[in-house]
């Protein structure tokens, strides 16, 4: 399974399946072997697919962030993830991480995932600036958790959210300085779901296309 992790560099849609399977490498069972075989069969059936990068008139950064609260049945730890696009449709960064501690609040977990993506956006902004690449548009982050979106935009909520670590509130500072936009997206349109949980096949196929994982063009 460790070798399959390298495939996620060009096949981000299998990140969740690979990460979940790798968690049981120390004590695998028959069901885990069957899951690994399903991953291999899927890769064989979509061998012509790959991550596509193409030109676009937009220079904006857009990201999706999500979290699956207490998703692990063994230790009830949560999974947070994000995906980040440049030129609107070009996927350039993504992550799916199992938290090291158990979160007692779904809002806290979603806000932490939002902070992770904000750090990634800030780093990419610095890199683009060093490369003299213009950034005329404010980066936009889509989040499907209303509480996390409200915490980032409205300081009135912070008096009732002291359980959230202070170091995460730099997200709100970015928003107040107009350096970051955070908007709500319905769960049905949340692209990051494919990195945190099992989704229906139709939703998975649609997300794969939106991630720009498409078949290679036919060459004559």
Same domain, 118 and 35: no
Could you list the pLDDT tens digit for every one of the 220 residues in the chain? 778 888 888 899 998 888 888 888 888 889 888 999 999 999 999 999 999 888 877 778 999 998 887 666 667 777 888 899 987 788 999 988 877 767 667 777 788 888 889 999 999 999 989 998 888 889 999 998 887 887 777 655 555 555 566 656 778 888 888 889 999 999 888 898 888 888 889 999 999 999 999 998 766 5
For residue 164, what pLDDT is reported? 60
Q: Say if 52 falls within a structural domain.
A: no
Cβ neighbors of 56 (< 8 A, separation 6 or more) are 87, 88, 89, 90
Same domain, 93 and 153: yes
Same domain, 100 and 189: yes
- For the range 43-47, what are the long-range contacts, defined as Cβ-Cβ under 8 Å and sequence gap of 24 or more? 43/7, 43/11, 43/14
Number of domains forming the structure of the chain: 2
Question: Are 120 and 84 in contact, with CB atoms under 8 Å apart?
Answer: yes
CATH number at residue 105: 3.30.420.10
Same domain, 67 and 156: yes
Same domain, 79 and 159: yes
Same domain, 4 and 78: no
Same domain, 20 and 77: no
Question: Are 166 and 126 in contact, with CB atoms under 8 Å apart?
Answer: no
- For residue 46, with 0-12 CB atoms within 10 Å meaning exposed, 13-18 middle and 19 or more buried, which class applies? middle
Q: Say if 220 falls within a structural domain.
A: no
Q: Say if 140 falls within a structural domain.
A: yes
Q: Say if 18 falls within a structural domain.
A: yes
| Dihedral in degrees, nearest 10, Cα atoms 114, 116, 122, 124 | -120
Nearest alpha carbon to residue 83 among 73, 69, 97? 97
Same domain, 29 and 133: no
For residue 218, what pLDDT is reported? 67
Enumerate the β-bridge partners of residue 67. 80
Angle at 186 between CA 98 and CA 16, to 5 degrees: 25
Boundaries of domain holding 10? 1-47
For residue 5, what pLDDT is reported? 85
Q: Say if 200 falls within a structural domain.
A: no
Q: Say if 69 falls within a structural domain.
A: yes
Same domain, 42 and 143: no
Same domain, 65 and 95: yes
Q: Cα 137 to chain center, whole Å?
A: 21
Phi, psi of 190 (to 5 degrees): -75, 105
Same domain, 34 and 119: no
SS3 67: strand
Q: Say if 198 falls within a structural domain.
A: no
pTM of the model: 0.84
Q: Say if 205 falls within a structural domain.
A: no
Same domain, 79 and 10: no
């Amino acid at each position: 399974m460790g070798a399959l992790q390298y495939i996620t560099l060009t096949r981000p849609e299998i990140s969740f399946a690979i990460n979940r399977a790798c968690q049981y490498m120390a004590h695998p069972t028959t069901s885990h072997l069957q899951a690994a075989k399903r991953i291999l069969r899927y890769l064989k059936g979509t061998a012509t697919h790959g991550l596509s990068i193409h030109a676009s008139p937009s220079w904006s950064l857009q990201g999706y962030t999500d979290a699956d609260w207490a998703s692990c049945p063994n230790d009830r730890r949560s999974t947070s993830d994000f995906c980040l696009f440049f030129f609107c449709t070009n996927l350039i960064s993504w992550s799916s991480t199992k938290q090291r501690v158990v979160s007692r609040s779904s809002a806290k977990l979603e806000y932490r995932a939002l902070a992770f993506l904000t750090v990634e956006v800030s780093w990419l902004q610095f890199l683009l600036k060093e490369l003299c690449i213009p950034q005329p548009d404010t980066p936009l982050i889509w989040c499907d958790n209303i509480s996390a979106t409200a915490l980032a935009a409205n300081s009135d909520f912070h008096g009732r959210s002291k359980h959230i670590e202070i170091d995460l509130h730099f997200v709100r500072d970015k928003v107040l300085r107009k350096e970051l936009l955070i908007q709500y997206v319905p769960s049905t349109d949340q692209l990051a779901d494919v990195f945190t949980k099992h989704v229906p096949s139709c939703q998975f196929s649609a997300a794969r296309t939106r991630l720009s994982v498409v078949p290679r063009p036919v060459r004559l």
